[in-house]
Amino acid sequence: MPKSSAKPGRVMHGPQPSQQLSLCWGREGLVAGVDEAGRGPLAGPVVAAAVILDDAAPIAGLADSKVLSERRREALFDEIRAKALCCSIAHASVAEIDQLNILQATMLAMKRAVEGLRLLPARVLVDGNRLPSLKVAAEAVVGGDATVQAISAASILAKVTRDRWCRDLHQAYPDYGFDAHKGYPTAEHLQALFRLGPTPEHRHSYAPVQRAKALQAAASDGLPATSPPTRR
């Protein structure tokens, strides 16, 4: 019996840790990778991206955005935008995060990213263990940002987009250090938050931000304010 050849665009199961899956055309149709950036910060939107790569235009060096340098992410961002069959970047706002909670807001951003694709994928692979509500077949892939090229590409687009937003936010609120901590609850960020109070771009449903608001309100009323907890 002749050996069957692998079909482009088919998902190969059981990759070795050092391998990544290449996803594109095949009988199953187009496959999109989806990832997000910004679930953990205290400020700003959560950003999601969806990417359909082109096997005819491979991109070297795709990996989980968290293990890449900022310079490398920026270079790959431009290459992904130039070579992918199509890609889409979307977000859920601070107001939506406060209204829905961060998990549901993340699912909403992912759904918007998929729906924004110029081409309709037959299948969507999402990093993590949860799936947004989609009109196409989807699969959650734990650790997919390190093992599936399309998800790696999506993680890079989402991360770079959000980091650029943080640099812009730093111009508006330079005393908070958004260009450095990117909104995450570092000691420096918490010190600025409790000293200056939250900005409109902070997620006011988050406990540290609520605490900062309470301290600010107490100070304006002339009440003694207790010291904020120190993050270790």
- Give CA 63 to chain center in angstroms: 14
Between CA 60 and CA 206 the distance in angstroms is 39
* 166 and 178 part of one domain: no
- For residue 184, give Cα distances in angstroms to 42, 132, 147, 203: 6, 24, 26, 11
Half-sphere exposure of 136 (CA within 13 A, CB side): 19
Residues 116 and 82 in one domain: yes
Q: What is the pTM of this model?
A: 0.83
CA gap 186, 213 in Å, rounded: 18
Asked if residue 145 belongs to a domain, the reply is: yes
Whose tokens are 């939107």? That residue is 45
The whole-number pLDDT of residue 25 equals 42
- Would you write out the chain's pLDDT as a tens digit for each of its 232 residues? 444 333 333 333 333 333 444 444 444 689 999 999 999 999 999 999 999 999 999 999 999 999 999 999 999 999 999 999 999 999 999 999 999 999 999 999 999 999 999 999 999 999 999 999 999 999 999 999 999 999 999 999 999 999 999 999 999 999 999 999 999 999 999 999 999 999 999 999 999 999 999 988 887 766 555 555 544 3
What pLDDT does residue 110 have? 98
Range of the domain at 137: 31-171
Q: Is 138 within 8 Å of 116 (Cβ atoms)?
A: no
Out of 155, 171, 187, a domain closes at 171
Residue at 188 is within a domain: yes
Do the domain assignments include residue 4? no
CATH of the domain at 123: 3.30.420.10
Count of domains for the chain = 2
What long-range pairs does 220-228 form, CB within 8 A, spacing at least 24?
Answer: 228/190, 228/194
Same domain, 113 and 182: no
- Would you list the DSSP string of 100-159? H-HHHHHHHHHHHHHHT-SS--SEEEEESS-----SSEEEEETTHHHHBHHHHHHHHHHH
Residue 8 lies in a domain: no
Instruction: Look at residue 18 in the predicted model and tell me its pLDDT.
Output: 37
Residue length of the chain: 232
